[in-house]
């Protein structure tokens, strides 16, 4: 079982950016956390981060034939990107959307998620644990389908 874990813009600034919202841990801590969960669960993983919408679209497309599922935190592109939604629909892989913060309790403009329309579930407000929940959810889902 192989997963792609994709992170969008400004998540490379974790630990520096708005620590009151996103916490003190860094992007490299997040990457380690994800790798540890996957190792424990015997899942192969590739972890990506990009600040660029087109690169995220390219990476989603490259998951086709190379991954069984996707965990994605599209960050700000969540609220704007039909291109990311279309890419997820194109590859049609089981996908879970994750947000570190609870977007439902934040600004109005964060209340829309385009990628969520192509996702099994949206997990929000659990910090790094949200990624663990998403990975376990995909593992359970894929165990039934592959």
Residue from the set 103, 119, 135, 138 that interacts with ligand DQA by CB under 6 A: 103
**How many residues can be counted in the chain?**
146
The Cα–Cα gap between 16 and 10 comes to 10
The Cα–Cα gap between 37 and 65 comes to 23
Q: Kindly state the smallest distance separating residue 100's Cβ from ligand DQA, in Å.
A: 4
Of 77, 99, 114, 131, the active-site residue reads 99
Instruction: Based on the residue annotation, tell me whether 99 is a catalytic residue of this protein.
Output: yes
The Cα–Cα gap between 130 and 91 comes to 23
Nearest to 1 by CA among 40, 36, 44: 44
Identify any residues that bridge with 81 across adjacent strands, giving them in sequence order.
none
Contacts of ligand DQA in 40-99 (CB under 6 A): 73, 75-76, 78, 99
Q: Kindly state the smallest distance separating residue 78's Cβ from ligand DQA, in Å.
A: 6
Q: Kindly state the smallest distance separating residue 131's Cβ from ligand DQA, in Å.
A: 10
Instruction: Based on the residue annotation, tell me whether 22 is a catalytic residue of this protein.
Output: yes
105 or 145, CB closer to ligand DQA?
A: 105
Look up tokens 């593992």; give the residue.
Answer: 139
Of 22, 27, 114, 131, the active-site residue reads 22
Q: Kindly state the smallest distance separating residue 73's Cβ from ligand DQA, in Å.
A: 5
Which H or E run includes 56? helix 53-63
The Cα–Cα gap between 93 and 88 comes to 7
Q: Where do contacts with ligand DQA occur on this chain (CB under 6 A)?
A: 10, 73, 75-76, 78, 99-101, 103, 110
| Active site members | 22, 99
């Amino acid at each position: 079982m192989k997963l792609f874990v994709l992170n969008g813009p400004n998540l490379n600034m974790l630990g520096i950016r708005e620590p009151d919202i996103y916490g003190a841990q860094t992007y490299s801590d997040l990457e380690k956390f994800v790798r540890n969960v996957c190792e424990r669960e015997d899942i192969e993983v590739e972890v990506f981060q990009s600040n660029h919408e087109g690169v995220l679209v390219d990476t989603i497309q490259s998951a086709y034939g190379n991954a069984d599922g996707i965990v994605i935190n599209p960050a700000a592109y969540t609220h704007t990107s039909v291109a990311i939604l279309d890419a997820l629909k194109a590859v049609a892989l089981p996908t879970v959307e994750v947000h570190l913060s609870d977007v439902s309790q934040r600004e109005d403009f964060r209340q829309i998620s385009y990628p969520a329309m192509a996702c099994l579930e949206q997990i929000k407000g659990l910090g790094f644990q949200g990624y663990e929940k998403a990975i376990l959810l995909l593992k359970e889902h894929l165990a039934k389908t592959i």
